[in-house]
Structure 1
């Protein structure tokens, strides 16, 4: 699968892995953050080497946008308990860090289920795959998106929510790395509330994986931004499988740069 090739990593000695930032995931300000995060998670999974310990939480801070070309991933198992592993990882390019991650991996625990996070009612089901959007950044052509919530970008909307059905355009089971991409796959919810285009790079992104993986797509994704202050804004997301199972939740801190004239 193309996605697996784009996040592929090979042993580089001393616990490091070498990979390559592919050109199919670019945005106007460098590679897509969810794609970079997927590569960090893949390095952690290789270091753990235990598919029973699936990702439960991953936080990545983005230090600088990498360019297309070779990268080195340096995962480190900080602690491997009887059931929970804590892993850190650095993604480097030209000797400089571009992303730092901390992840928690564990099988399911024998514990009670409490509460619910139901899928929104009355949402039209996914339709046939739509063609890529004309003029969209390269990464958007890797995704299949069908809007169901909110308004278009730069419409000055009062609605704090955007989203809809989302999947990889080349369907595959959705594992941890794929969910990193989808949790960052929609245009920023803040854009619908603006009337000028402000680039909105991600400072940090946390994904919580809430269901056994992998799952089948498409997923219904809802993204919400409530507050922007001092140039920074938060964005929360929830992603559900078609059967209503909550698959993932995320939160990120983004930065609003000066508008593009």
Structure 2
């Protein structure tokens, strides 16, 4: 089984889709948020009749555990280029995510371009340590379902040597040469460790409250260059901004996430 099979959905009624939350995509027992987003997006894409999510916002209501899922989709507006839908992803009738998204054909959207950022400077993937799952639960199990490599300057937190900057840079790809589709971009936007792990602050894991993803293009085959940074940690909350660039240097996706910052023990 791979990412595409593990995020598959099927229609079970008008506007309702079924899926299975598979084991191994978890962070300390709870399903990774990007994995949940990818499942929901596949159902919303099918309901919209459009091939790609362009913008998708999700509020996280409950943690997800392996087992059957339902995704109930409602079309709010059907336009010439965009369809806007809402959806609820639930497990045993318990809502896990509430989503709102815009869907279209990314390949058909065009206009003037101006890019004022550049892809992160990274050593080659073979010179960046791969993050692998550990028996004690950190790094989490899902790291053995993807190939994620961290910039050496950002990887010391695993040995108790955080860089002091709330920043992670690195490479991402799926295993077994699975192609990167739009839903894989959603997974990548939530796959890296929380930036606060490099900030020298007394915190534990940071549960997501809300995540918004903007997809700009379908990536070329190969590695994604990724950068995640935080500017504001205050009031028990933090924001995290993500950028993804494909193997040809094209900007393909961005995200903003708001997460709780519980104090570490």
Query: What's the TM-score, normalizing by structure 1?
Result: 0.90
Query: Unaligned stretches of 5+ in structure 1?
Result: none
In structure 2, the CA distance between the partners of 1:144 and 1:233, relative to structure 1 (3 Å rule), is same
Query: How does 1:196-207 map onto structure 2 within 5 Å?
Result: 196-207=202-213
Q: How many Å separate the matches in 2 of 1:185 and 1:109? A: 27
Look up the match of 1:55: 53
Look up the match of 2:27: 27
In structure 2, the CA distance between the partners of 1:31 and 1:215, relative to structure 1 (3 Å rule), is same
> How many Å apart are 1:47 and its aligned residue?
0.6
Look up the match of 1:150: 154
Q: Do the aligned residues in 2 keep the contact of 1:15 with 1:75 (CA within 8 Å)?
A: yes
> How many Å apart are 1:169 and its aligned residue?
2.3
Q: Tell me the SS of whatever aligns to 2:24.
A: helix
Q: How many Å separate the matches in 2 of 1:165 and 1:115? A: 21
Query: What's the TM-score, normalizing by structure 2?
Result: 0.89
Look up the match of 1:87: 85
Q: Tell me the SS of whatever aligns to 1:24.
A: coil
Q: How many Å separate the matches in 2 of 1:88 and 1:62? A: 14
In structure 2, the CA distance between the partners of 1:84 and 1:78, relative to structure 1 (3 Å rule), is same
> How many Å apart are 1:195 and its aligned residue?
5.2
Query: Unaligned stretches of 5+ in structure 2?
Result: none
Q: How many Å separate the matches in 2 of 1:240 and 1:98? A: 29
In structure 2, the CA distance between the partners of 1:131 and 1:99, relative to structure 1 (3 Å rule), is closer
Count, aligned residues: 256
Instruction: Calculate the aligned-residue CA RMSD, in Å.
Output: 2.1
> How many Å apart are 1:4 and its aligned residue?
1.6
Q: How many Å separate the matches in 2 of 1:130 and 1:234? A: 25
Residues 15-38 of structure 1, C-alpha deviation per residue, up to 9 Å, x if partnerless? 201111111101115101110011
Q: Do the aligned residues in 2 keep the contact of 1:175 with 1:215 (CA within 8 Å)?
A: no
Look up the match of 2:171: 165
Look up the match of 2:196: 190
Query: How does 1:70-219 map onto structure 2 within 5 Å?
Result: 70-107=68-105, 108-121=108-121, 123-127=122-126, 130=130, 132-135=132-135, 136-148=139-151, 150-153=154-157, 155-194=161-200, 196-211=202-217, 213-219=218-224
